[in-house]
Structure 1
Amino acid sequence: MRTPAQKRKDKKKSHIPFRLNLLFFIVFLLFSSLILRLGYLQIIRADEYQAEVERTERTTITGSVPRGEIFDANLRRLVGNEARHTITYTRGRNIPVGQMTELAYDLAAYISMPSEPYYAVESGADLTRRDLQDFFIANNQEEIRSRLTDEELQLDGTEAYQAMLDSVSDEEIEQLTERELVATAVFKKMNSAYALSTVNIKNEDVTQEEIAQISENLDALPGIATGTDWVRTYPEGNMMRSITGAVSSEDNGIPESRLRTLLAQGYSRNDRVGTSQIEQQYESVLRGTKSRLESETNSRGDVINQIEQYSGQKGDNLILTVDIDFQEEVEQIALNSLAEREGLSESIYIVAMDPRDGDILAMTGKEIVNGEVVDDALGNINKSFAMGSSIKGASVLAASMDGVLDSSNNTILDTPIRVRESPPIRSVFNYAGNNNVYMNDITALERSSNVYMSTLAMRMGGEWNFTSGGSLNINGRSLLEKQRRYFNQFGLGVQTGIDLPGEQTGLAGPGSSPGEALFFSFGQYDTYTPMQLAQYISTIANDGTRIAPRLVSEIRDTDTETGRVGALKTEIPPKILNHVNVDEQALQRVQQGFYQVINGSQGTARVHFADTDYTAAGKTGTAETFYWDDDLGRNTDSVTNLTYVGYAPFENPEIAVAVVVPNLPNQNRSNQENQRAARQVMDAYFKVGDYAQEDVADPTETIEELEDFVEEDNGEE
């Protein structure tokens, strides 16, 4: 008989086989399920999963097209395009950098690239130390990671990559082979591309042999293609380059300051865009419509095929208002005048425009920097100067608009004005004040009376009976604000509206004393740009209508057959900014005063315009100011700015001219390059004097003469 202990032991043993069998059964079920699942996947769903592996995706990507070109008023090309062979790379989705280095190495077998490393030259290297490190890391990722410590492996972002860079020695990158250096240059280009964007790997000096070799091996070079690229050319050299502006390179892409705006407009980060002047101002016109490619990628993200859906459309062309021949003559006039410089005077600025519609006929600026003449045409819109008496027309008209000047009170005695705590105000022609010279608004302009303008300013401030030597009972701040509001109507102190970015408005003096308001009235206080000066004289010549200066008059397409300038798409109309609210008779008297400046017996410009073949009107200006030293960051020597404004013909103006010659010595009053240059510009425009053209035979008359000769000859026979 078994004891209770034996019974418990037998019962325990009897459970072991059951549990073991249960475990085997469960394992059997699991293996059966796995086998059934594998069979299901390999037999029933095999085709479906095979298709998934081989699945491709199609994505539409855009490509660049030639920019529109820029022509002068006579359709001479100033900025064009040159077609070049190019080798491109379209980056697929989620392409690892290691895969790109392999592709770059393969491509390096077929093309040459500028690949001079930093350690081989002192300057001008094609590949920096960082470029070589980037390629080495991308090509040796496992090796680089093995060099990092556990702490470095925990880093992320910039810190992690910096640790990788630190692990690459100079000896390693200096051992790269010539082909690896070329591959590094290629990889640098590739790595600048974003997913499903296209970059130019090489678009300069691409040989036919390179194109042929790549075309034969495209299947082994995923994402690589050949095509045509366009680069900007300048048939007229540097003529107007500072005005037409620049285009960014593919490496630079979109400027950071305009990144969000341009990305929202459909640009890619590496697109080439206008970065300055006309190229930037008319970017939406010049850019064209991008091509569209349907890009096919495999499951790895490689681009395996591209199908063109739309070839794109070249940008539209801009027609400028400038005649390049006239522009060239004006630039030479500026250069010749600059040769007569004296003292600290190292620049000259000239603007010629049509007062009827605002067309810029010519625009130049020349400056001497480090002993060499450089172009500074943009100084006409972004540099300002004290202009002196050339703005006195605005002072007379401001007084008329303010109601303090009319035919009943326009005669004023020119005698020095002495204001307490302010320098005395004198007119040059009556500097000592010994002569009792009475003048009206017309003769005050003809002889350039500072006293007359100051008296008008005092009236505008409420002071009609000033006693010389006393204090002015005038609110200087209020008077200056009033004067500036009137001047603004002529374009002085405000933007002119020219179709260029970066225009400045000049500097308004910070003071508020009555004496400063008097000096303001004859151009010795606020500063203005040469372009503002040109708009001011144009407004007076145009009977008080202020029109924005413009450099572009038309937008035209491209003839698809000839490639030349095509049909007119948009004619840019003159932009009227305002009409000066002045009495017509008052304006005519200022115009007559400007006529007297040139044609009157005591006019300040009569000498230089005495024998013109056209009738002109104008105003000279002299401003005593200070020379601003950029190096010192302060004013230094006292200098004189000479200016001139004028227009012609007097009865029906076609051209208005503004000339500024800054920083001449105070002691030398013989330099009159402002007037000489203005006279030459007008002579060149009207083709008279030294610019007269020889008579060219009329082809029609020549043919008629030939026909008469033939008839006579036949009659003799």
Structure 2
Amino acid sequence: MLRKTIKKTKERKKSHIPFRLNLLFFIVFMLFSALILRLGYLQIIRADEYRAEVERTERTTITGSVPRGEIYDANLTKLVGNEARNTITYTRGKNTSGATMAEIALNLADYITMPSVSPFDNEDSSDITVRDMQDFYIAMNQDEVNERLSDEELKLSGSESYQAMLDKVTEDEIADFSEKEKAATAIYKSMNASYSLSTVNIKNENVSQEEIARVSENLDSLPGVGTGTDWVRVYPQGDMLKSVLGRVTSEEQGIPSEKVSKYLAMGYSRNDRVGRTYLEEQYESVLRGTKSIIETETDNNGEIINQVEKYSGSKGDNLILTSDISYQETVEQIAKDSLQKREGRNEEIYMAAMDPQTGDILAMTGQTVGDDGEAVDDALGTITKAFIPGSSIKGATVLSAYMDGVLDTSNNVIEDTPLLFKGSNPIRSIFNQSGSIMINDITALERSSNVYMSRLAMRMGGVWDYSPYKSLPFNGQELLDKQREYYAQFGLGVETGIDLPSEMTGYKGSNPSAVDGLFQAFGQYDTYTTIQLLQYVSTIANDGVRVAPKLVSEIRDTDPDTGEIGALKTEIETKVLNKVAVSDEAMDRVQQGFYQAVHGDQGTARSFFADAPYDAAGKTGTAQSFWYNPETKSSETTVNLTYVGYAPYDDPEIAVAVIVPYLPESSSERTNKENLAAAKRMMDAYFKTGEFEEEQKSNTETVEELQEAQNAAENVE
């Protein structure tokens, strides 16, 4: 009995906890111990390291835009300037999400007024699109829109994924946007166009001081938003030379797509405004200026927490043009006056003048008739539109024959009589329709002989004797190639080197017959631009030295104190392209021919220039041309009138070229020689004579009166 009691007592003392449970407790104990040790290690040993990681920020340098350089005429009259404007800006952080920007946009809408007419308000004059509103809705409701996507749509990526989201936003959801939401949509659109750590203008038009103040007071709640000053291009002289001056891209357009790689490699940002056309594009590196440098501090989430301007940047350098705006204005008015006399199809005139020795463009204009019947600036047409020139290029033909060795003073007398070839229209001179007259090279230029020029072309093709009603036994293409090679020395059919991009070189006829080279010899085949004709006649005026036309004479910096024109940085020197490979004697004979065309008893330009107080020389041109009528879908026969010339004859200061294209064959403009009338007025205006003499006197009297007033004031002092 006693043994049984002892046994039961021992059984009661034995533990009821299974071994496996004890093992579990032990493992838990060890895990807690490891956790405590790890926490202690992190909090004590590596506390400073991880605290620094949490508080880590990055400093990044970004650049900001500065005003472009301005453009002035030769007398420092401003043609293109900058107008400063208040602006609200946004700089996007490294990892800023669309949702974050949408929230900022919604907050900013409380402080500024944005143009935000939706298509639901007015479809014809809306400032924001349906897509803009969908973008904003998605940014504000990302999770909700995602829930609407199917399993298959959730697997999409990139643009396909986003398009699926756009499809889930109904028209009803955006049509009911409040005014604040529509303003926020417009703001978000601008913000969303920015790249990481780049600055864009959210609003830079009509920004009031009140808006600047409200935004400035709330910058802490508007991360990335700032205020500043922006600029826009202005044109104090209106449309004068505007097509030549060029355009600048907008911030939305940024760098043209075809030049992205080039500009990015030069340190531009994608949304930078750059010169898009003509002078603005040609001199982009000069006008662009030096960007401001801003040190931007971002937190570990990529959000901007501070910005400090390290360098304020510098405005671009300024261009000084070769032309005097008062003379340019006069030439434009001459062109407009000419258009007022138009008849039939004629709706264009192109005129240009330059110093033949330096290449300085003194004036250039093109005027066309707009839909309302008023003249529209097309100065650019002087380098981009080419026309059949007619006899005005005969000086180049004579000199080509001298260079080719088929003409010299021993064989320069040729019979002018109509030429008749098999399969071709007759070739006649206007002054000699059926007779026979012996003339030399000077007389041929004075009287404008088509036959003389054709006989020179025949010689260049290897045919010296004329036999009527026969075919020419030489290759027409080879003759044209030879003529074009010589003409190129004068700037005809090639780039002139003018400091503008996109210069046209004219159209060359193709698949020629042998006789086409004869028509080329008197300007009835290839086409040339006004600026090419101007360079050609300037080369003759300059004794065979061809110089590149230039619109810019100087580059000047900006005075740091006044912000106006500063010191001279670069003077654009005359660029000599080539010297025509012809003897001085041959050049002198062509110059005499041009002189006789103006002063000779039978000169084609005598009626306009013979009595001028300045001694001019030049060559007229009349060419048959064709104009395609889009209404009748047929070509109409028209006439181009041209003139090239220079003055004074002994020491040329000015060369001019005029093209009046597509005149009706029977128009009074042709009879009245509008090409000569316009050219004469251009030279009169330059030399301040004729109808422009009174203007000179008036200007002189005004200057004298001002000088007297100044002297009187100084005496009083």
TM-score range, shorter chain: over 0.9
Question: Distance in 1 between the 2:38 and 2:707 partners?
Answer: 99
Q: Any idea what the Cα deviations from partners look like across 1:261-305, whole Å, max 9, x if unmatched?
A: 001100000000000010000000000000000001112211111
Shift of 1:684: 0.6
Q: Report the counterpart of residue 492 of structure 1 in structure 2.
A: 492
Q: Report the counterpart of residue 689 of structure 2 in structure 1.
A: 688
Question: Distance in 1 between the 2:561 and 2:475 partners?
Answer: 69
Question: Distance in 1 between the 2:386 and 2:704 partners?
Answer: 49
Shift of 1:699: 4.5
Question: Distance in 2 between the 1:635 and 1:275 partners?
Answer: 36
Shift of 1:40: 2.8
Q: Report the counterpart of residue 589 of structure 1 in structure 2.
A: 589
Which amino acid in 1 is paired with 2:550?
Answer: R
Shift of 1:623: 0.6
Residues 1:646 and 2:645 are matched in the alignment: yes
Which amino acid in 1 is paired with 2:656?
Answer: V
Secondary structure of residue in 1 paired with 2:697: coil
Question: Distance in 1 between the 2:631 and 2:203 partners?
Answer: 42
Q: Report the counterpart of residue 3 of structure 1 in structure 2.
A: none
C-alpha distance 701-328 of structure 1, shift in aligned 2 (>3 A): closer
C-alpha distance 706-671 of structure 1, shift in aligned 2 (>3 A): closer
For the 8 Å contact 1:626–1:635, the answer to whether it is kept is no
C-alpha distance 701-132 of structure 1, shift in aligned 2 (>3 A): closer
Q: Report the counterpart of residue 601 of structure 1 in structure 2.
A: 601
Secondary structure of residue in 2 paired with 1:322: coil
Q: Report the counterpart of residue 35 of structure 1 in structure 2.
A: 36
Shift of 1:630: 6.0
Q: Report the counterpart of residue 459 of structure 1 in structure 2.
A: 459
Question: Distance in 1 between the 2:164 and 2:264 partners?
Answer: 33
Q: Any idea what the Cα deviations from partners look like across 1:322-346, whole Å, max 9, x if unmatched?
A: 1110010000000010111122111
Q: Any idea what the Cα deviations from partners look like across 1:128-177, whole Å, max 9, x if unmatched?
A: 00000000000000010011111111111111111111111111101111
Q: Report the counterpart of residue 666 of structure 1 in structure 2.
A: 665
Please, what TM-score do these two structures have when normalized by structure 1? Answer: 0.94
1:115-130 to structure 2, matched below 5 A, reads 115-130=116-131
Q: Any idea what the Cα deviations from partners look like across 1:295-325, whole Å, max 9, x if unmatched?
A: 0111221111111111111100000011110
C-alpha distance 165-704 of structure 1, shift in aligned 2 (>3 A): closer
Q: Report the counterpart of residue 9 of structure 2 in structure 1.
A: none
Question: Distance in 2 between the 1:702 and 1:338 partners?
Answer: 40
C-alpha distance 700-178 of structure 1, shift in aligned 2 (>3 A): closer
Q: Any idea what the Cα deviations from partners look like across 1:368-412, whole Å, max 9, x if unmatched?
A: 233433211111111111000000000000000000111110001
1:156-305 to structure 2, matched below 5 A, reads 156-305=157-306
Q: Any idea what the Cα deviations from partners look like across 1:181-231, whole Å, max 9, x if unmatched?
A: 111111111111100011111111111111111111111111111111111
Shift of 1:653: 0.5
Q: Report the counterpart of residue 328 of structure 2 in structure 1.
A: 327
Which amino acid in 2 is paired with 1:646?
Answer: G
Aligned length: 692
For the 8 Å contact 2:72–2:79, the answer to whether it is kept is yes
Question: Distance in 2 between the 1:610 and 1:404 partners?
Answer: 33
Shift of 1:600: 0.5
Shift of 1:122: 3.0
Please, what TM-score do these two structures have when normalized by structure 2? Answer: 0.94
Q: Report the counterpart of residue 579 of structure 2 in structure 1.
A: 579
Question: Distance in 2 between the 1:705 and 1:374 partners?
Answer: 41
1:365-380 to structure 2, matched below 5 A, reads 365-372=366-373, 373-380=375-382
Shift of 1:58: 0.5
Q: Report the counterpart of residue 713 of structure 1 in structure 2.
A: none
For the 8 Å contact 1:61–1:196, the answer to whether it is kept is yes
Shift of 1:20: 4.2
Shift of 1:42: 3.7
Q: Report the counterpart of residue 392 of structure 1 in structure 2.
A: 394
Which amino acid in 1 is paired with 2:457?
Answer: A
For the 8 Å contact 1:367–1:374, the answer to whether it is kept is yes
For the 8 Å contact 1:466–1:472, the answer to whether it is kept is no
Secondary structure of residue in 2 paired with 1:429: coil
Shift of 1:70: 0.2
Residues 1:413 and 2:420 are matched in the alignment: no
Shift of 1:629: 4.2
C-alpha distance 702-232 of structure 1, shift in aligned 2 (>3 A): closer
Q: Report the counterpart of residue 611 of structure 1 in structure 2.
A: 611
Secondary structure of residue in 2 paired with 1:608: helix
Question: Distance in 1 between the 2:706 and 2:364 partners?
Answer: 37
Shift of 1:706: 8.7
Secondary structure of residue in 1 paired with 2:387: coil
Q: Any idea what the Cα deviations from partners look like across 1:617-648, whole Å, max 9, x if unmatched?
A: 0100011121134678x761111111000001
Shift of 1:472: 1.1
Question: Distance in 2 between the 1:74 and 1:105 partners?
Answer: 51
For the 8 Å contact 2:239–2:377, the answer to whether it is kept is no
Q: Report the counterpart of residue 636 of structure 1 in structure 2.
A: 635
Q: Report the counterpart of residue 308 of structure 1 in structure 2.
A: 309
Structure 2 runs not aligned, ≥5 long: 1-14
Shift of 1:685: 0.6
Q: Report the counterpart of residue 139 of structure 1 in structure 2.
A: 140
For the 8 Å contact 2:614–2:647, the answer to whether it is kept is yes
Structure 1 runs not aligned, ≥5 long: 1-13, 711-717
For the 8 Å contact 2:358–2:574, the answer to whether it is kept is yes
Question: Distance in 2 between the 1:553 and 1:393 partners?
Answer: 29
Secondary structure of residue in 1 paired with 2:254: coil
Kindly, what percent of the aligned residue pairs are identical?
63
1:340-489 to structure 2, matched below 5 A, reads 340-372=341-373, 373-431=375-433, 433-434=434-435, 436-489=436-489
Query: Which range moved further: 36-45 or 209-218?
Result: 36-45
Question: Distance in 2 between the 1:368 and 1:119 partners?
Answer: 39
Question: Distance in 1 between the 2:383 and 2:600 partners?
Answer: 33
Which amino acid in 1 is paired with 2:697?
Answer: E
C-alpha distance 41-602 of structure 1, shift in aligned 2 (>3 A): same
Shift of 1:599: 0.5
Q: Report the counterpart of residue 714 of structure 1 in structure 2.
A: none
Which amino acid in 2 is paired with 1:381?
Answer: I
Q: Report the counterpart of residue 715 of structure 1 in structure 2.
A: none
Question: Distance in 2 between the 1:322 and 1:32 partners?
Answer: 89
For the 8 Å contact 2:240–2:377, the answer to whether it is kept is no
